[in-house]
Structures are given as structure tokens and as C-alpha cells.
Amino acid sequence: MGAPHGHHLHWHGHSPIHRLPAHVKLVSLLAFVVTVVATPREAYWAFAAYLLLMLGVWVASRVPLGYLARRMVVEVPFVVFALLIPFVATGPRVDVGPLSLSEPGLLAAWGILAKATLGVMASLALATTTEPRDIVAGLEHLRLPALMVGILTFMLRYLDVVVGELERMRIARESRGFRATSVRQWPAIAATTGALFIRSYERGERVHLAMLSRGYGGRMPLLHETSTPASAWARGLALPAAALLVLVAAVVLR
């Protein structure tokens, strides 16, 4: 209770956000992100409203804000890219201290930062309140092709197995005095990667044969499938509905 488990992002809890069905949260995430992307960059107040909405979702999820904020570092590549745009973009220039920056570049950088930040915040709200297996089940509920669902299922199931295999190989190398301290050790690391690929491929073949022998026909069996009440859809779509109202107001007032 109150501690992360299951995978590196999920935070175990029983908040209203946790209790929403995974497929409802997936639809809500997609609708919210599309709404944010469609918002004109000049509607600064609209992005402030989106930020307040997302902070409300974070608070309602009961996931510690520090836990969520630390995982925002995934956005760093977008931040670096956005910060470079004003220096390389063309168009009218504006002086900011000793720097000469492009005005269209500043606007483009703002748009990238605002929309990327909101998208990452929404994605973290989903990832921290939904188990990976529930996300896969939600995609299946939304009629994602069975082949893609199967691939995602096995990826989640065997990712930890492959990572554990790699860790055992690393320990075995280091117990024999190996240290990757220079370029000369790269061939050994490449050989380890090749061996890991072969072992994973062979394990996949064995698992597939075992499944075929048990009647597998290309689709994972559904353990349970229940209908989603209208109240769950109403709660789940409250965020994108509010964001849509903000977008309409931003377009009308533009």
C-alpha cells in the first residue's frame, strides 16, 4: 500500500483514477492530447487551464507529486530541442540580453514545450495509475489487432526475464575480472549482446511451441470481459471534455 510495485512507473493505490477501467483512461488520454495539440500556440491562457486540469488529475490520483515530478525528466530531449530553436530559426530577431533570438523560433519553442509537457503529464497519470497488463487488456478491449496485443503481452511478460538474463551475464563477466573501461572491451560487450539475442530467440521458440501444444490459435484467451458503466465513461471523459471546452473558447476568442 502506498509503494510502487509491478513496474518502474506504477504506484499502487485505490484512488478514483486507479479505479477507472484502463480502456477508458486510454481514450481519455488520446482525446486530451489531441485537444492540446490542436490548440493554437498563441492561446497562452488555454495552456494554463490545461495545466490546472492536469494538476487536478495528479492530485486526484493520490500519487505523490514528487514521485511524478521526478519522472518528468523523460521530457529533457524535447526541452533541449526547443531551447535550440530560437537560435537557429529564421525571421525577425529580438534581443534578450546578449542573445539574438528568432521571434518565430521563440513561439515554436513555447508551443513544443507547452504541448510536450502536458502530454508527458497526461501519460504519467496513466502509467502511474494503471498496471501494464491492464493497459494491454484495455487495448484489446478497444479492438486493437490481436497480433499487436499478443506482441505487447509477451513483451511485458518477458522483459524482466531478458533483463535478468543480462544482469546474470554481467555478473558472470565481472566475476572473471572483466571491466568495460575502454574501447578494447567493446567486442566482449558485443558478444554478450549477440548471445543474449540468441538465448531470447531460442526461448521464444520454446515458449511458442509450448503454447501451440496447449491449443494456442493466435489470440490470448480473455479471462473476463465486463461492460463498462456509463458513469465510468463520464468520469473518465471529464478531463478531455473540459479541455475541449477550453479549446473552443480559445478558438472563439482568438
**Tens digit of each residue's pLDDT (9 = 90 or more) over 186-207:** 888 888 889 889 988 898 899 8
pTM, rounded to two decimals: 0.79
How many Å apart are CA 142 and CA 201, to the nearest integer?
30
Q: What is the pLDDT of residue 224?
A: 58
- Asked if residue 247 lies in contact with residue 38, where contact means CB atoms within 8 angstroms, the answer is yes
The predicted-structure confidence for 21-54, as pLDDT tens digits, reads as follows 999 999 999 999 999 999 999 999 999 999 999 9
Q: What is the pLDDT of residue 62?
A: 93
Q: Please identify every stretch of the chain with a pLDDT value under 50, giving residue numbers as ranges.
A: 1-6
Q: Is the dihedral of CA 182, 184, 190, 191 positive or negative?
A: negative
Q: What is the pLDDT of residue 225?
A: 61
Q: What is the pLDDT of residue 6?
A: 43
Domain residue spans in the chain?
Answer: 16-131+227-253, 145-213
